[in-house]
Structure 1
Amino acid sequence: MGFFLGVAVRRPSFFVRPKSDCTNMLKRLTVLIVSALIFILSAGEISAAVSVADSSATLKKSQVNSDYRVRVLRAYLSKHNSPLAEYAGYFVETADKYNIDWRLVPAISGVESTFGKRIPANSFNAYGWANGAYKFKSWEDSIEIVTKALREKYIDRGAPSIAKIARRYAPPSSTWAGNVKFFMRKIEPLPVAFTLEG
């Protein structure tokens, strides 16, 4: 009857929530919705990552060709009119395979044969391998054999630096290591003060 008489009727507090309770509930609801969205979206990213990983295995060759190192090496060798320029991707791929600096074998070719321009006829020996007497089957064959030998017969056997490689690769030359480092810096000016262990 208070309505008709203008008297306010006070309702019990369990029907009306204080404003702070409503604010807390809204905050909790917002956190719940955001958490649910993050969970749903991250599940999609995981399945997408699996899909990308599956397809990436077949794209390895094209990824090597798009590698900046390939572009840098190809440009450098082309600038020197090297017959090795078109094998820049193979240099990088093989260096990665044997875990050595991608600039090392091309730099050795610079020291030994002016990047493959001064070699015995049809030898594909741009590296002074066996004092220039060794004949490889192809440029790819030469890159593979020299890179693998540098890893297995030099680095893995106690010659993890360019100076130590030089003692075995080009004795008694006192300039070989410095010249290799020079060409490595010219190819890409990264630090050459490293060891090849790994």
Structure 2
Amino acid sequence: MQQGSGGLVELLLGADDFYDLLSTIQYLDVIQAKNTDALNELVAMENELTQARIALDAQQQEAEEEEQRAEDALAEAEEARGELEAKIAAQAAAEEAQRRAALEAAQRALEEAQKAAAEAEQKAAETEGSQTETTVENPTFTTESGSEAPVEVPESPDAGNVDWSSDKQAFVSEWSARIDAYLAGSPLAGQGATFAEAAWEFGVDPRFSPAISTVESSTGRVCFRPHNAWGWGSSSWGSWEEAIWAHVEGLAIGYGGQLTYACAQKYCPPNADHWYSSVLANMEMI
């Protein structure tokens, strides 16, 4: 108990006896202890409140910073997406321009060959005094493997899309028949199912590999290595089945599995224009 000197004297004088004084002092000590406990509890609660307020302020600041980071990330993502879309659009436009230029170049080459044949026929007629028929031969180009292939012009600038919505059985059945009809009479005859199954497995246009075989080797008639109908360097295989699966897989891995002008530039750098046009023309035949 803490008391001033005046308060203690008043307690002594006001007490009836010693026991009364002792009881009063004990009572005051209890009251003071309770007050002290209440005060300490209040101080503790105030400290807790202060710490909670500090923590809440920190959490709020962190939340605001996180929100700002999320907004910044979203803005960066939208900017990156816009740049990517613009890049894709520019690449698509460039691809389309190159593709059309390739087809126009093939058409010009064919028209020039026809014109040259007509002029030769007229010159021969004038020289010999009679009408002489001159055979118009398609112009040729050299492939990357060194073979000579005729320049062919497709009837349409687009071969159309392949329908991948069917199941494997229906897909293979449809394309096997179409490819077999295209390959009839060639060394690759009867391999339609092999081409179709490999195309399904690797997600490659089923017309792509057969068409390349015609451009590069007259559909397997002129192979500089065993079963290599696609002008692939020094590669050779033990069977058409093995060769077809390897080539279709290679088209998927290295060329995107679809005919594009970029693919033509990679497959036949010396004459990408004529290669693209000729492969497309053959794809449209399937």
Query: If the length of structure 2 is used for normalisation, what is the TM-score?
Result: 0.39
How far residue 168 of structure 1 moved from its aligned partner, in angstroms, is 0.9
Structure 2: gaps spanning 5 or more residues: 1-167
| 1:137 maps to 2:238 | yes
| 1:95 maps to 2:204 | no
1:7-156 equivalence runs, <5 A:
63=169, 67-78=173-184, 81-120=185-224, 123-130=226-233, 133-155=234-256
| 1:162 maps to 2:265 | no
- Deviations along 1:59-100, one digit per CA (max 9) or x if unpaired, are x7xx4697122111111211xx11112111000000011101
Greater relative contact order: 1 or 2 (C-alpha under 8 angstroms, separation 6 or more)? 2
Q: Is the 2:209–2:248 Cα contact (8 Å) retained in structure 1? A: yes
Q: Secondary structure at the match of 1:125?
A: coil
Q: Is the 2:194–2:241 Cα contact (8 Å) retained in structure 1? A: yes
How far residue 161 of structure 1 moved from its aligned partner, in angstroms, is 4.2
Q: Is the 1:64–1:93 Cα contact (8 Å) retained in structure 2? A: no
Residue 57 of structure 1 corresponds to which residue in structure 2? none
Q: Secondary structure at the match of 1:101?
A: coil
State the AA in 2 paired with 1:143. I
> Take 2:255 and 2:214, find their aligned partners in 1: how far apart are those partners?
19
> Take 1:66 and 1:100, find their aligned partners in 2: how far apart are those partners?
13
Structure 1: gaps spanning 5 or more residues: 1-59, 188-198
Q: Is the 2:172–2:196 Cα contact (8 Å) retained in structure 1? A: no
Q: Is the 1:65–1:89 Cα contact (8 Å) retained in structure 2? A: no
- Measured at CA, do residues 69 and 75 of structure 1 come closer, stay the same or move farther in structure 2, by a change above 3 Å? same
Q: Secondary structure at the match of 1:85?
A: coil
> Take 2:170 and 2:229, find their aligned partners in 1: how far apart are those partners?
23
Q: 2:284 aligns with which of 175, 182, 185?
A: 185
- Deviations along 1:84-120, one digit per CA (max 9) or x if unpaired, are 1211100000001110110000000010011101112
> Take 1:143 and 1:165, find their aligned partners in 2: how far apart are those partners?
18
Residue 175 of structure 1 corresponds to which residue in structure 2? 274
Residue 34 of structure 1 corresponds to which residue in structure 2? none
Q: Is the 1:91–1:102 Cα contact (8 Å) retained in structure 2? A: yes
- Measured at CA, do residues 72 and 161 of structure 1 come closer, stay the same or move farther in structure 2, by a change above 3 Å? closer
Residue 27 of structure 1 corresponds to which residue in structure 2? none
Q: Is the 1:64–1:92 Cα contact (8 Å) retained in structure 2? A: no
State the AA in 2 paired with 1:148. E
- Measured at CA, do residues 91 and 64 of structure 1 come closer, stay the same or move farther in structure 2, by a change above 3 Å? farther
How far residue 139 of structure 1 moved from its aligned partner, in angstroms, is 0.7
Decide which structure has the larger Cα Rg and report it. 2
Query: If the length of structure 1 is used for normalisation, what is the TM-score?
Result: 0.55
Q: Secondary structure at the match of 1:175?
A: helix
> Take 2:199 and 2:189, find their aligned partners in 1: how far apart are those partners?
16
> Take 1:120 and 1:172, find their aligned partners in 2: how far apart are those partners?
19
RMSD value, Cα: 2.0
Identity percentage over the alignment?
A: 34
